[in-house]
Amino acid sequence: MKKVSIFLSLLLITAVCLGCSAAGESQADKEPGFSGDAQVKVVTADGTALTIDEKIMSASEIAVFETTQGKSGEEPETNTHRGVLLKNVLSQAGVNIDSVNEIKCTSLDGFSKVYSKTDLNDPEKLFLTFQMDGEQLTYNNQDCFFIVAKNESFKQNWSKFLGEIVIS
């Protein structure tokens, strides 16, 4: 009887410890939040200039997700990202999503990529990210954003070092 009592006590302690451990993990996923000084200028179809910054990002729901991309002749690489669904953050910034036909994203290094309304409306595709693999995204030692095409198998559909989004 004493052995059963000890066994049940150990089982209870283990369950409590595992519960605390799991709660800490889920809390960590809920807490990442945005911190940093990254900003991106948004120009709407009517010429209105908006800024996505800490205030807008902090008011948006942060997603944590993985992508796996490959390069010809190399093993695929998996990365963990933190960011916000682009459609949601644009809406949070004041963009009327229904009026968007396409968006042109221009990087600080001059690269431009155009995404369609279909891309924007895909709930698994375009994310405005601020972290990859636990590291803040930077360009020339300044915080920046990437647009990550989550369900794409190659990074060529990403916009890195985002400087401006023009909506038409």
95 pLDDT more than 80? yes
* Alpha helices in 37-85, H assignment, sequence order: 54-58
pTM as predicted: 0.79
Percent of the chain residues topping a pLDDT of 90? 66
CB 62 within 8 A of CB 32: yes
Clarify whether residues 70 and 132 are in a common domain. Answer: yes
The whole domain housing 27 covers 1-31
Clarify whether residues 44 and 118 are in a common domain. Answer: yes
Clarify whether residues 72 and 13 are in a common domain. Answer: no
- The predicted pLDDT at position 33 comes to 74
Kindly indicate the confidence band of residue 63, based on its pLDDT and cuts at 50, 70 and 90.
very high
Clarify whether residues 109 and 139 are in a common domain. Answer: yes
- The predicted pLDDT at position 106 comes to 97
Mean pLDDT within 111-117? 95
82 pLDDT more than 80? yes
- The count of structural domains within the chain is 2
Backbone phi, then psi, for 21, in 5-degree steps? -65, -50
Clarify whether residues 66 and 92 are in a common domain. Answer: yes
Mean pLDDT within 54-82? 91
Mean pLDDT within 161-165? 97
Clarify whether residues 113 and 91 are in a common domain. Answer: yes
- The predicted pLDDT at position 25 comes to 36
Clarify whether residues 102 and 122 are in a common domain. Answer: yes
Amino acid identity, position 86? L
CA–CA separation, 40 and 144 (whole Å): 8
Residues 6+ apart with CB under 8 A from 137: 38, 129, 130, 131, 143, 144, 145, 146, 160, 161
Tens of pLDDT along 19-45?
Answer: 443 433 333 345 457 878 999 999 999
- The predicted pLDDT at position 14 comes to 47
CATH number for 59: 3.90.420.10
Clarify whether residues 87 and 156 are in a common domain. Answer: yes
Clarify whether residues 8 and 54 are in a common domain. Answer: no
Mean pLDDT within 85-108? 95
Mean pLDDT within 128-148? 95
18 pLDDT more than 50? no
Clarify whether residues 20 and 61 are in a common domain. Answer: no
Residues 6+ apart with CB under 8 A from 47: none
